[in-house]
Amino acid sequence: MRDMFAEEGARARRALLRELETYGALRDPAWRAAFAQVPRHLFVPYYYVPGTGGYERLWSGDPDPARRTRWLRGAYRDGALATRVRDGELVSSASQPSLMARMLEALDLQDGHDVLEIGAGTGYHAALLCHRLGDAHVTTVDLDEEITETARAHLAAAGHRPAVITGDGARGCPERAPYDRIVATCEVPSIPYAWLDQCRPGARILAPLSTGLILLVVRDPAHAEGRFLATSAYFVALRGGSARTPRTPTAGVPRRAYEDQRFQFLAGLAGEALDTREALSLWQRERRPERERFGVTVSGGRQWAWLDDPEGPYAWPLPDL
């Protein structure tokens, strides 16, 4: 089917590329080429923006030319887009392009790598991976069949046909394993052990945890360790029978603390393991530590988060998935 927005989309895409380069989000020429050539508007034929009393739907087929233009320009804005809303609740979204660029570059992908993506979303992230690696090296999994069907259609419209699987992302996709990289585009409360089982030695796992991005290096099926990236990250939570919602304590917390992104990150990461006073005391004592001072270790059937040192005094268990 002919893309009637191809020319306008190309101009908008070039503008987005310039914006990402200004932010320093595209250092690798391979990813620059991917963002330059993959048409994002094909993956968001409609999306929702906050409106009076709820969400307003913008779409490519709107009979109003001004609203169509607004839709197209919004598709190339450097921001997250709400793509699926049920009963007023956000179910799926398209991630902010600059954040996607940082995540993809952090994976340090090489030719021939096999990648598992957890959370198919619109299919745009998978399309960028396909552009870099080739369709045969990309697998994307989502629990919602409607989401996977839509992502598959979007990918086909853009000329890509990776493996799009409907299933519980916490269980990975063993039939397509092993993988050199696993990247999640949904928030998890801890690292599913099934992911380690499906990785080659030396693989990397990148996943949103609390409001940060943990980058783990996998030693073997029972061991992985790594630190958080400096950037903040906000994603829709992993859904499925294994999913859990982390607690962010706020009762008794001074306003200066609970409005601080670094405290929100620490509180979400600590969850049930630290009560409100313990989390606040640690945050104050360590002078509002940045995300990159924190890490996660998976070893011998257990996993824990830590500050500065995996064996140091500041460590707490993460829930099992």
- Burial class of 259 by CB neighbour count within 10 A (0 to 12, 13 to 18, 19+): exposed
**DSSP code per residue over 122-135:** TSHHHHHHHHHH-G
CB 296 within 8 A of CB 309: no
- Burial class of 91 by CB neighbour count within 10 A (0 to 12, 13 to 18, 19+): middle
**Distance (Å, rounded) from C-alpha 166 to C-alpha 144?**
7
User: Is position 92 annotated as part of the catalytic site?
Assistant: yes
Name the token pair of 63: 């009979």
Q: Of 92, 93, 190, 210, which one is the catalytic site residue? A: 92
Handedness of CA 316, 174, 158, 44 (dihedral sign): negative
Handedness of CA 89, 91, 95, 99 (dihedral sign): positive
The residues, any chain, with a CB within 8 Å of residue 172's CB and separated by 6 or more, are 116, 118, 141, 182, 192, 194, 195, 197, 198
Residues carrying an active site annotation: 92
